[in-house]
Amino acid sequence: MANLLAGQASLWIQPDGPNTEPKYLGCHSVGDLTEPFGDETILYCPDPAQAGRFIVKNSFTGEPGAITTSVETDLRKTADYLEDIGKCGVPVFFHKVSCGRRDVFPNFDRTFILNPAKVTSRAVGNVAARDPGNENESTQTFDLSSLQLIRAFPLEGSRVTIADTEDITGIAICGEERCEGDCGASQKISDYIFLATRPLAGSAAIAAEVLYSIKGSVFAATAADPFAADEDIQGIVCFRVGRDTIRVIVARGTTDGGNPAEIAYSDDLGDTWTNVNVGAVNGEFVTNGHALVALDRYHIWLGSNGGRIYFSKDGGLTWTLQENAGISATAITGISFATPDAGFAVYTGGETAKTTDGSQTGATWSATDDPTSGATVATDIHAISQFFVWVSGSNGLWYSHDAGDTWAQRSSTTIGAIDFLDELEGLAAGLAASGLIYHTINGGYDWDPLDLVANSGYLDVKMLTSKLAYASGVSNGGTGMLVKLLPET
């Protein structure tokens, strides 16, 4: 494959920030992008075997520096977009483009994004000449600095082989980036993947399973099942409760008239499960996998089919009621927290609620403006910050930049799940059969459809890195549906 050249590029800026119209910067050139990770400092001890020699006993990495570059352009009568970058900074995109139009934003082979990019200095060159024959063009130079450099790629999906035949309702991923050392063996973020399923349709004797893959192994069912036969699993999360101990929590997605809502947790990769009642309202359950969310073992929320929100601060062992269906008595289809305190919930009819003290046992929730209209079924919600939030559903994608006070519609395509890696990169997965997965790198202003992977509808999507994501859904072709997303080849 041919290498990319300096001339194969296009520059873009979002003057008003993520999820706003990107502007093409035509006649601009860029110097090197420098990303300092921090110097390595080596610690020594004398070598006991030989005088005058030393051995390395350890090392540590110093603080990383800001990412920097310089952009140059010609000086024109109208101001350049870079002249108006304020103190808050904005996203700047450096696309590499080998084919097609440069001025089409989704057209890139790969891209480098500074977010937020700030101007640290600027200069105007060749301002005036005393020689009447000097026709050198006047220029502007902008030195940019950012704390984050995103390396993003167009993505493509491929089916992961799953032997089980059930629908896969949810994905939980609990690996961590770790080098081999005193803390144990090396590990990647994708080393521990857990999937929640429905019970096999038409079989009252077969229970819903939890599937798992460890360090790239083939997905297999855990040794035990968390719930009784014919009981659904809707919602799966995982988090660390020890250095090498992962707790997996699943929620029962089927009503049990004589008992309240229920979760099950396992600390031994599903060899055993412990069941815990949630609340005291008999018949409650979780109707959507996105209604169970965990930031860590101290911050877990669950939304019920009756519109109640429960909170656990001890790894799921006990639960307290935070919202007693006062906002809506309809089913909660999604909960998302940007911080331990700032969170949002969405109900099946599209109503939304928010809290600003969600980490407190006695947190208060209040209704926001309704983002959708008409006969809408909301499917998911994702809070990027305490102000920037997305809702998906049967009539597409809606967003708010003011914590739910006002909403705007971005798309009318039926979406089953949405997930963002940060305020720029995200995925949305179609709910209908033969649905597409859509990818954004500019905060949701543009959603680029990926090539179709045959499916019967997606139920969950998780973005781990700019180069790795998963989507799951309704069984297709006789087996469970799991798609792995990687950069295009």
Span 202-234, pLDDT tens digits = 556 689 999 999 999 999 999 999 999 889 999
Rounded Cα distance between 220 and 255, Å, is 27
Report how far Cα 87 is from the mean position of its chain's Cα atoms: 27
Task: Assess whether pLDDT exceeds 90 at residue 179.
Answer: no
Task: Assess whether pLDDT exceeds 70 at residue 133.
Answer: yes
Mean pLDDT throughout 372-398? 90
pLDDT of residue 206: 81
Rounded Cα distance between 206 and 199, Å, is 6
Task: Assess whether pLDDT exceeds 90 at residue 293.
Answer: yes
pLDDT of residue 375: 56
> 206 — phi, psi (to 5°)?
-105, 130
Task: Supply 253's token pair.
Answer: 């997605």
Rounded Cα distance between 223 and 212, Å, is 10
pLDDT of residue 131: 85
Point out the least confidently predicted range of 447-451, 469-473, 476-480: 476-480
Burial of 387: CB neighbours in 10 Å, binned 0-12, 13-18, 19+: middle
Mean pLDDT throughout 67-84? 95
Q: How many residues does the chain have?
A: 489
What fold is seen in the domain 155-487? Methylamine Dehydrogenase; Chain H (2.130.10)
Mean pLDDT throughout 3-13? 95
Burial of 119: CB neighbours in 10 Å, binned 0-12, 13-18, 19+: middle
Mean pLDDT throughout 332-342? 98
Rounded Cα distance between 243 and 18, Å, is 36
Task: Identify the band that residue 200 occupies on the pLDDT scale cut at 50, 70 and 90.
Answer: confident
> 82 — phi, psi (to 5°)?
-65, -20
Helix, strand, or coil here: 81?
helix
| E strand or H helix that includes residue 312 | strand 308-312
Task: Assess whether pLDDT exceeds 70 at residue 111.
Answer: yes
Portion of the chain with pLDDT greater than 70, in percent:
98
Rounded Cα distance between 422 and 441, Å, is 9
pLDDT of residue 204: 61
Task: Assess whether pLDDT exceeds 80 at residue 378.
Answer: yes
Task: Supply 380's token pair.
Answer: 């998911």
> 81 — phi, psi (to 5°)?
-55, -35
| Identity of residue 189 | I
Task: Identify the band that residue 373 occupies on the pLDDT scale cut at 50, 70 and 90.
Answer: low
Among all chains, which residue has been given the structure tokens 């910067």? 25
Mean pLDDT throughout 452-468? 97
User: Please, what is the average pLDDT of the chain?
Assistant: 94
Rounded Cα distance between 481 and 196, Å, is 11
| E strand or H helix that includes residue 31 | none
What tens digit of pLDDT does each residue of 228-270 get? 988 999 999 999 999 889 999 999 999 998 899 999 999 999 9
Answering whether pTM is above 0.85, one says: yes
pLDDT of residue 392: 96
Task: Assess whether pLDDT exceeds 80 at residue 306.
Answer: yes
Task: Identify the band that residue 1 occupies on the pLDDT scale cut at 50, 70 and 90.
Answer: low
Domain with CATH 2.130.10.10 in the chain: 155-487
Q: How many CB atoms lie within 10 A of CB 424?
A: 25
CA distances (Å), 16 to each of 23, 49, 349, in order? 10, 64, 31
Q: Residue 78: which of 23, 129, 128 has the closest Cα?
A: 23
Rounded Cα distance between 264 and 311, Å, is 15
Report how far Cα 391 is from the mean position of its chain's Cα atoms: 14
Burial of 344: CB neighbours in 10 Å, binned 0-12, 13-18, 19+: buried
Rounded Cα distance between 188 and 179, Å, is 9
pLDDT of residue 135: 80
Asked if 97 contacts 108 with a C-beta cutoff of 8 angstroms, the reply is yes
pLDDT of residue 184: 82
Residue 367 CB partners (closer than 8 Å, separation 6+): 327, 328, 351, 352, 353
Mean pLDDT throughout 281-288? 97
Rounded Cα distance between 71 and 125, Å, is 13
Task: Assess whether pLDDT exceeds 90 at residue 17.
Answer: yes
